[in-house]
Amino acid sequence: EAGVAQSPRYKIIEKRQSVAFWCNPISGHATLYWYQQILGQGPKLLIQFQNNGVVDDSQLPKDRFSAERLKGVDSTLKIQPAKLEDSAVYLCASSPTRDLSSGNTIYFGEGSWLTVV
């Protein structure tokens, strides 16, 4: 079974530039997550999709971050304009359903490493 795919793996941009990350979840997984992991910290949820709808984007900095999952499969996370503090690993993850209390597991991709200089 193929895992969660992410690209690009690494990106270096200057502040105020834009960047986009792509994620393809495990086939059949309805729920897709984007997490931000700053060096030395645990991952923090940015946005959660259920199929093509947003379930939770309360921690997404909406003035500069946007995400979409138009057809309910793959997803794109965009940052524009980037700030120095956006340097982090952006982890995409998926799970079969949104109900984590029923024993479902969240599966993570390898991450997209962003450095803003």
| Total of residues contacting another protein (CB under 8 A) | 25
Mask for 97-116, x = binds another protein (CB under 8 A): -xxxx-x-xxxxxxx-x---
Q: Report d(CA 87, CA 116) in Å as an integer.
A: 5
Among 91, 94, 114, 116, binds another protein (CB under 8 A): 91
CA distances 71 to 24, 45, 76, Å, are 11, 21, 11
In the bound state with another protein, the residue whose beta carbon lies nearer, of 48 and 75, is 48
Q: How far is the CB of 41 from another protein (least distance, A)?
A: 5
Q: What are phi and psi of 18, to 5 degrees?
A: -115, 160
Q: Report d(CA 2, CA 76) in Å as an integer.
A: 19
In the bound state with another protein, the residue whose beta carbon lies nearer, of 56 and 68, is 56
